[in-house]
Amino acid sequence: MTPEEVLRFASENGTKMVDLKFVDVPGIWQHFSVPIRELEEETFVEGKAFDGSSVKGFQTINESDMLLIPDPTTAVMDPFTAIPTLSLICNVAHPGPAGRKKPYSRDPRYIARKAEEYLRSTGIADTSYFGPEAEFFIFDNVLYNSTANIQYAEIDSDEAHWNSASNGKPNLGHRMRVKEGYFPVAPNDTLMDIRSEMALVLEELGVLVEAQHHEVGGPGQAEIDIRFNSLLKTADNMMFYKYVVKNTARKHGKTVTFMPKPVFGDNGSGMHVHQSLWKNEKPLFYDGEGYAGLSQLARYYIGGLLTHAPALLGIVASTTNSYKRLVPGFEAPVNLVFSKGNRSAAVRIPLTDCPSAKRVEFRPPDPTANPYLAFPAMLMAGLDGIRRGIEPSDHGYGPVDRDLYHLSVEEQREIRSVPSTLDAVLDALEDDHAFLLEGGVFTTDLLEHYIDLKRSQVDEVRLRPTPIEFELYYDA
């Protein structure tokens, strides 16, 4: 939509308020709202002022004046507000005269926009498509506390196996056993209608849904797969995805988490990311004669992903909790190899003979990642592989078509794994980030602030005793 069309759309829907959304460096939507009379065509040029010093990863207090510039193409009616509210995703800018406002270098959405521009400038392709498969848990209750004398977390799901003997209300059985949530029907699956409602709300917002289902994790794990789209559009769609999923659950008295590993002993939540390059509306990753139907260009792209995987994980698996999921020896994609149809590899090639559907799937990411940083980082790694001609088979990255979870000890030693802590991947990102700086897509300033923010989270976790430490050491 154009600004004029947005104003007409708002009027047709009886809009009373306008909600201006933007994303912080960790990847959380922030917002404020204004009455509809405050939205004019000039607003899409002049923007609205806000305090950037109170936003994680943004400005200091002495340089806090910032602007939100609404993107008219993102206009939708908010499906959760009682008062008719128009929602607009915004870009962040520095104040200045008309035509001289500068995009804010630490605005993650600006990084995504620059990544698309850089791709076109290379001549390699003009479009990058991304299709994330984000998983999450729907819980009935969550309690947690972390103070000087309390370290405590408790979650509950009526579907969970641990409630098989609960006696607080009539117990009807039919609960999900550990790692058996994929794909039982009702009455075991109690969440189908909620997932369907989430999917339909997404569709109303223009986020196309391909499927929804219960996931492997017994206590309420779910997945809703959205249709692939261009990099920036998919990042926007992922923000809507989280917003819709969380608020639909809350409407039903439930709570959603995208934490990668909220439940000990059951499956974690990942975000497998399908990606491909196109030029002049033609797919570039297909070659019917190549391994798994892959073109040489696609192999080089994979070489970039796997070569830079340790650094990438600092952005695409960006929490300490991520490494409770990415653990060698379990069903986690920690093996730095590629393979056709093999979910135990870091890069999986989906089995399809359709040229337009040929893509690569990078499996280590999880949905705590900021999509405006994660998708550009993966694109930049892949492009670096193409630019340098990194053939993955020349660097020990496969292909490997066996079950990587059941290799001998000797065979396992031949396969590299991703680092096992957030600290380690942040070290890797500090050592290996030149590929992200190509074309000015990422900046040193943004990466330094991002790493500092993430290291502060590492320290927050490292300094606190955990309940299991009491279990292990209290009587030492």
> What phi, psi does 400 have (nearest 5°)?
-125, 120
User: Which of the residues 24, 78, 215, 423 is marked catalytic?
Assistant: 215
H helices within 87-230, ranges in order?
A: 108-122, 192-204
Q: Examine the residue annotation and report whether 471 is marked as an active-site residue of this protein.
A: no
**What Å distances lie between residue 456 and 94, 106, 147, 256, 462, CA to CA?**
27, 18, 17, 25, 10
Residues 6 or more apart whose Cβ sits within 8 Å of residue 460: none
The helix/strand/coil state of 281 is coil
Active-site annotation holder among 161, 213, 343, 455: 343
Query: Tokens representing 177?
Result: 């056993």
Among residues 113, 195, 272, 325, which one is catalytic?
272
Q: What's the distance, CA 80 to chain centroid? A: 22
Q: What is the token pair recorded at 239?
A: 């923000």
Concerning whether 159 is annotated as a catalytic residue, the answer is no
Catalytic residue among 4, 42, 51, 452: 51
Residue count of the chain, please give it: 476
Catalytic residue among 107, 116, 159, 223: 223
**Of the residues 109, 299, 325, 363, which is catalytic?**
363
Q: Catalytic: which of 135, 159, 189, 423?
A: 135
| Gap between the Cα atoms of 207 and 201, Å rounded | 9
Tell me if residue 361 is catalytic. Answer: yes
Question: Is 154 among the catalytic positions?
Answer: no
Q: What's the angle, vertex CA 454, arms to CA 437 and CA 116, rounded to 5?
A: 30
> For residue 327, what are the β-bridge partners?
none
78, 140, 225, 361: the catalytic one is 361
How far is Cα 446 from Cα 435, in angstroms, rounded to an integer?
14
Is 272 considered catalytic here?
yes
Q: Which of 78, 107, 133, 159 is catalytic?
A: 133
Question: By the 8 A CB rule, do 116 and 122 touch?
Answer: no
The 8-class DSSP code of residue 440 comes to G
Catalytic residues: 51, 133, 135, 215, 223, 272, 343, 361, 363
